[in-house]
Amino acid sequence: MNLVLAPREKGQLICRASGTPKPTINWAMNGIPIENSPEDPNRKVEGDTIIFEEVQTGSSAVYQCNASNEYGYLLSNAFVNVLSETPRVLTPANKVYQVIRNNHALLDCSSFGSPIPKITWFKDSQSSTLEGDPYLLHENGTLEIYVAQALNSGKYICVARNTLGIAENHVYLEVKEPTRILKQPKYKVAQRNRNVVFECKVKHDPTLIPIMIWLKDNGELPDDERFLVDSDSLTITDVTENDAGTYTCIMNTSLDHDSASAELTVVEATPTPAVIYEQPDPPTDLELTDMKPRSVQLTWIPGDEHNSPIHKFVIQYTDSLHDHGHWHNLTHVPGSKTTAHLQLSPYVHYTFRVLALNAVGLSDPSNPSHMYKTNPAAPEENPSGVKGFGTEHDNLMILWKPMSGLQANGPGLQYKVMWRQKDVDKNWTSVTVANVSKFMVSGTPTFTPYEVKVQAINNNGIGPDPAVVTGHSGEDLPVQAPDIVQVLVLNSTLAEVNWEPVPPKTVRGHLKGYKVYYWRERSLHKHNPHRVEQQLLTFSGNKSHGMLPGLQPYSLYLFNVRVYNGKGEGPASSNLQFETPEGVPGRPSFLRITNSNLDSLTLEWGPPNDRNGHLTGYTLKYQPVNNSNDLGPMEELALPANKTSITLPNLKYSTRYKFYFNAKTGQGAGPVITEEAVTIMDEGKSGLSLTVDIATQGWFIGLMCAIALLILILLIICFIKRNKGGKYPVKEKEDAHTDPEFQPMKEDDCTFGEYSDTEDHKPLKGSRTPSNGTVHRDSSDDSLVDYGGGDGQFNEDGSFIGQYSGKSSIRETAGGHERSEAPSPVNTTTMNSFV
Confidence of residue 529 (pLDDT cuts 50, 70, 90): low
- Which amino acid, residue 85? E
The fold of the 2-82 domain, in CATH, is: Immunoglobulin-like (2.60.40)
Q: Nearest to residue 46, comparing CAs of 10, 4, 15, 8? A: 15
Residue 236: the pLDDT is 93
Q: Helices (DSSP H) in 724-762: which residue ranges?
A: 727-737
Q: Which H or E run contains 715?
A: helix 698-723
CA distance 259 to 200: 9
Q: Which residues on neighbouring strands pair with residue 97, listed in sequence order? A: 173
Q: Which H or E run contains 535?
A: strand 535-540
Report phi then psi at 313, rounded to 5. Answer: -110, 135
Mean pLDDT in residue range 358-363: 91
CA distance 66 to 19: 13
Q: Nearest to residue 820, comparing CAs of 829, 807, 835? A: 807
CA distance 602 to 622: 13
Share of the chain above pLDDT 90, in %: 57
Residue 598: the pLDDT is 83
Q: Could you tell me the end-to-end alpha-carbon distance of the chain, in angstroms, rounded to an integer?
A: 126
Mean pLDDT in residue range 707-720: 91
Mean pLDDT in residue range 485-510: 94
Close Cβ partners of 643 (under 8 Å, ≥ 6 residues apart)? 618
Residue 57: the pLDDT is 79
Q: Is 165 helix (H, G, I), strand (E, B) or coil?
A: strand
Confidence of residue 530 (pLDDT cuts 50, 70, 90): low
CA distance 818 to 777: 7
CA distance 483 to 552: 26
CA distance 455 to 383: 7
Listed range (163-167, 377-381, 447-451, 790-794) with the worst mean pLDDT: 790-794
Q: What is the pLDDT of residues 390-416, one digit of tens each?
A: 999 999 999 999 998 889 999 999 999
* Residue 309 CB neighbour total at 10 angstroms: 10
Residue 749: pLDDT over 50: no
Residue 823: the pLDDT is 39
CB 192 within 8 A of CB 151: no
Q: What is the pLDDT of residues 325-356, one digit of tens each?
A: 899 999 999 998 999 999 999 999 999 999 99
CB 478 within 8 A of CB 503: no
* Residue 425 CB neighbour total at 10 angstroms: 12
Residue 755: pLDDT over 50: no
Q: Is 723 helix (H, G, I), strand (E, B) or coil?
A: helix
CB 461 within 8 A of CB 471: no
Residue 92: the pLDDT is 94
Q: What is the pLDDT of residues 582-627, one digit of tens each?
A: 999 999 999 999 888 888 899 999 999 888 889 999 999 999 998 8
Residues of the chain with CATH 2.60.40.10: 2-82, 85-176, 180-267, 284-374, 387-472, 483-580, 588-678
Domain covering 483-580 assigned CATH 2.60.40.10 in the classification: yes
Q: Which residues on neighbouring strands pair with residue 269, listed in sequence order? A: none
Residue 687: the pLDDT is 45
Q: Strand 668-669 to strand 635-639: parallel, antiparallel, or no bridges (unpaired)?
A: unpaired
Q: Which residues on neighbouring strands pair with residue 159, listed in sequence order? A: 120, 168
Looking at domain 588-678, its CATH superfamily turns out to be Immunoglobulins (2.60.40.10)
- Which amino acid, residue 269? A
The fold of the 284-374 domain, in CATH, is: Immunoglobulin-like (2.60.40)
Across the chain, mean pLDDT equals: 83
Half-sphere exposure of 809 (CA within 13 A, CB side): 4
Q: Is 89 helix (H, G, I), strand (E, B) or coil?
A: strand
Mean pLDDT in residue range 85-100: 93
CB 356 within 8 A of CB 302: yes
CB 708 within 8 A of CB 646: no
CA distance 398 to 388: 5
Residue 103: pLDDT over 60: yes
Residue 779: the pLDDT is 40
Residue 814: pLDDT over 80: no
Listed range (318-327, 541-550, 739-748) with the worst mean pLDDT: 739-748
Residue 98: pLDDT over 80: yes
Residue 464: pLDDT over 70: yes
Mean pLDDT in residue range 68-84: 89
Q: Which H or E run contains 328?
A: strand 323-334
Which of these CATH numbers, 2.60.40.10, 3.40.630.30, 1.10.357.10, 3.30.360.10, describes 85-176? 2.60.40.10
Q: Nearest to residue 353, comparing CAs of 375, 374, 370, 334? A: 370
Q: What is the pLDDT of residues 714-731, one digit of tens each?
A: 999 988 888 765 444 544
Residue 144: the pLDDT is 92
Share of the chain above pLDDT 70, in %: 83
CB 611 within 8 A of CB 525: yes
Residue 721: the pLDDT is 84
Say which CATH class 387-472 falls into. mainly beta
Q: What is the pLDDT of residues 692-702, one digit of tens each?
A: 455 556 778 88
82 vs 395, residue with greater confidence: 395
Residue 488: pLDDT over 90: yes
Residue 832: pLDDT over 60: no
Q: What is the CA radius of gyration of the chain?
A: 57
Reduce the secondary structure of 766-817 to three states and give it as a string: CCCCCCCCEEECCCCCCCHHHHCCCCCCCCCCCCCHHHHCCCCCEEECCCCC
Residue 5: the pLDDT is 85
CA distance 794 to 462: 147
* Residue 119 CB neighbour total at 10 angstroms: 22
The fold of the 180-267 domain, in CATH, is: Immunoglobulin-like (2.60.40)
Q: What is the pLDDT of residues 214-267, one digit of tens each?
A: 999 999 999 999 999 988 899 999 999 999 999 999 999 999 999 999 999 998
Q: Which H or E run contains 101?
A: none
Question: Mean pLDDT highest for which of 77-81, 512-516, 629-633?
Answer: 512-516
CA distance 578 to 187: 82
Confidence of residue 532 (pLDDT cuts 50, 70, 90): low
